[in-house]
Amino acid sequence: MNRNELLTRSFAKAFGAQPDIVCHAPGRVNLMGDHTDYNKGFVLPVAIDFGTDIAASLRDDRQVNVIAIDIDNEQVEFSLDDITFDQKYAWSNYVRGTLFALMQSYPDIKGANITVSGNVPRGAGLSSSASFEIALLLAFTQLNKLSLTGLEAALKGQQAENEFVGCNCGIMDQMISALGKKSQVMLLDCQDLSVQYAVMPDDIAILIINSNVKRGLVDSEYNIRRMQCEAAASFCCKKTLRDVLPEQLEVVKQDIEPILFRRAQHVLSENSRTCQMLSALNKRDMASISQLMADSHQSLKNDFEVTTPEIDTLVDIVATVLGEQGGVRMTGGGFGGCVVALAPKLMLPSVIDAVLEQYPAKTGLTPDIYRCTAVNGAFVNLI
């Protein structure tokens, strides 16, 4: 039984009828451009074949009834006329916040019966929350016959996280979940939300390796990094680091705090690398891809200081196997989480064997390895 059949059967069992619609939205991995999004810079995400599925039917009232299949079939019910934060079932706040944001533009939507299931690995930084939001928005758009675009859905998802859930995230996750393209990566300009695409070479695989390092410092250190970037931009008399040119940063190098200089240097150089990465992918220039990903990791390690010894070990293991034939770097917020590698498909067994043999021996940790492909953004499934 595939996931679609499992979801529809669960829906029928819970609500006594087949769903009107089944929607899917993917998770993502970011190939290049970390800690650039909140600095209005560039990111290079790809939608992956892990995501969130929602089965739903329109109600004739304003009630929303949601069952989370993956969380012991927990069930919540609320009215669209009385959306409040749920302290008991934290996952339901993504539903509540997303629909609250949707109603800012479409206040008269009807409620729905919903079952939800996902296979995005939790805690791996592959954006299960954004895929949940985008799948939900697609379902309500279809059920209520709304004219919500992919860009508008991404903005609604971000609003839900920022204003309701309480996560001060950028818009990258929602944009790629809504607007990803099969076999392509997206270059997103976080300043004007314009996008470009590059083709992922057919013989190159996306490999995500979870270090399984407990990420205890992410929230506090993330906020510190944001403040440091804002302080560096302010020192250069600019609103964001996106507006600072490398030569302008060099002018103030002797006067600005060294730690602020390093933080800014990472962001400026990462923006440049991200744009170069798009070009390298289009040319299938694996030597350049390898070097750009290596430089990105070193910048995140030395200038932004968000890697860990375990993450560095993983990158070294993979890089030793790949050489100039592929690239590897940490991805996400840092302080644990995942590395992402672009590797020739023929070399995957060698990479995986090296990781499984060496990483536990060097760190005492067991990695989780996911082979992914680039897929389309959110879509409606056939029932």
Closest CA to 306 of 258, 263, 341: 263
126 is annotated as contributing to ligand binding: yes
Residue 359 is labelled as binding a ligand: no
Give residues with Cβ within 8 angstroms of 208, minimum separation 6.
29, 48, 124, 126, 331, 338, 339, 340, 341, 369, 370, 371, 372
> Any binding-site annotation on 222?
yes
Is 272 a known ligand-binding residue? no
123 labelled binding-site residue: yes
307-to-148, 333, 338 alpha-carbon distances in Å: 38, 9, 10
Q: In degrees rounded to 5, what are phi and psi of residue 70?
A: -80, -10
Q: Are strands 327-331 and 21-30 parallel, antiparallel or unpaired?
A: unpaired
294 is in an annotated binding site: no
Which residue is catalytic, options 34, 37, 53, 173?
Answer: 173
173 is catalytic: yes
Name the residue among 8, 214, 215 with its Cα closest to residue 117. 8
Q: How far apart are CA 96 and CA 66, in angstroms?
A: 10
Q: CA 332 to CA 127: how far, in whole Å?
A: 10
The answer to whether 129 is annotated as binding is yes
Beta strands in the chain (DSSP E): 21-30, 42-43, 45-58, 63-68, 74-79, 112-118, 184-189, 195-199, 204-210, 327-331, 338-344, 368-372, 379-381
* 161 is known to lie in a ligand binding site: yes
Measured CA to CA, the distance from residue 148 to residue 159 in angstroms comes to 15
Closest to 149 (Cα-Cα) out of 70, 239, 157, 236: 157
281 is in an annotated binding site: no
Which residue positions form the known binding site for substrate?
Answer: 222
**Binding site for ATP, residues?**
123-129
The set of catalytic residues is 173
Q: Which residues are annotated as a binding site?
A: 123-129, 161, 222
